[in-house]
């Protein structure tokens, strides 16, 4: 029996360096979501929402994202919380926004995507444990969630619902220019494309149609060493 795709995504990336933290200064705050979405192996919605509520009083929240996605229900909870805050919310896709991460991005007031970044939509995933009735119930829930997500995408993009359904069924990947063209992002941020693709480096074997630009992955230890070196260099440059 094949491994459930969501579980495969989590396990394939368990050794990858991750980053989820919040930084607030004055009237602005930054949330770094550089991880998968899910209570088991990534960022739990409960933790995300707690941090978001602690930002009461700030005027602008910058969500800096590089995420391969994860559990649909966790992503929906994050998106709902973002849609309810009073602050202006800006999502900066600095590498990858895939799967459940796109729901979180779409909930923000503005979305920008870095040149070299990618945006992927597909039908909802989750993990189910139990008997056949449990699985049948979950199938019904996923269908409703897909319909809700399509509504969110349509509201943001203005794209026809049937086109969105077809894109989701086909697991469609958009580069930065295409994400802006189709309305998933408001603008493209001109940056170093090679650096953005380094940020986007996840093991994406759980997906079917991954662009070639995202399939050349370094070993997790090598990537971890590089990320650590880049952070140390950034700290030295601030001194």
Domains in the chain: boundaries: 5-238
Model pLDDT, residue 223: 44
Tell me, what's the pLDDT at 90?
A: 99
Residue-level pLDDT at 136: 84
| Tokens (6 digits) for 4 | 């459930």
19 φ, ψ (degrees, to nearest 5)? -155, 115
> Nearest-CA neighbor of 188 among 199, 174, 201, 208?
174
Q: Centre a 10 Å sphere on the Cβ of residue 7 and count the other Cβ atoms it contains.
A: 15
Q: Which whole-number Å values give the CA distances from 111 to 103, 139, 180, 187, in the listed order?
A: 12, 30, 9, 7
- State in Å, rounded, how far the first CA of the chain is from the last one: 54
How many other CB atoms are found less than 10 A from the CB of residue 152?
Answer: 17
Query: What local confidence, expressed as pLDDT, does residue 84 receive?
Result: 95
Give the tens place of pLDDT for each residue, 81-134.
999 999 999 999 999 999 999 999 999 999 999 999 999 999 987 767 788 888
List the CATH code of the domain at 5-238.
3.90.226.10
Determine the angle formed by the axes of helices 161-169 and 132-157, rounding to 10 degrees.
130
pLDDT tens sequence across 46-57? 999 999 999 988
Residues of the chain above pLDDT 70, percent: 84
pLDDT digits (tens, 9 = 90+) for 2-42: 447 778 888 888 888 788 999 999 999 999 999 999 988 89
């Amino acid at each position: 029996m094949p491994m459930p795709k969501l579980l495969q995504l989590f396990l394939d990336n368990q050794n990858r360096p991750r980053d989820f933290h919040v930084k607030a200064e004055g009237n602005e705050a930054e949330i770094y979501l550089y991880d998968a979405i899910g209570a088991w192996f990534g960022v739990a919605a409960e933790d995300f929402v707690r941090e978001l509520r602690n930002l009461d009083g700030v005027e602008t929240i910058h969500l800096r994202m590089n995420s391969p996605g994860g559990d649909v229900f966790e992503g929906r909870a994050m998106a709902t919380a973002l849609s309810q805050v009073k602050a202006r919310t800006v999502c900066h896709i600095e590498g990858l926004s895939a799967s459940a991460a796109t729901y979180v991005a779409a909930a923000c007031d503005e979305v920008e995507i870095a040149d070299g970044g990618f945006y992927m939509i597909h039908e909802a995933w989750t993990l189910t444990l139990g008997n056949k009735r449990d699985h049948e119930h979950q199938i019904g829930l996923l269908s409703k969630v897909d319909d809700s997500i399509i509504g969110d995408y349509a509201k943001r993009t203005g794209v026809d619902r049937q086109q969105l359904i077809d894109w989701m069924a086909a697991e469609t990947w958009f580069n930065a220019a295409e994400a802006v063209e189709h309305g998933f992002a408001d603008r493209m941020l001109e940056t170093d494309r090679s650096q953005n693709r380094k940020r986007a480096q996840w093991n994406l074997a759980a997906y079917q149609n991954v662009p070639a630009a995202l399939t050349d992955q370094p070993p997790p230890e090598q990537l971890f060493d590089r990320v650590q070196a880049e952070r140390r260099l950034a700290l030295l440059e601030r001194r």
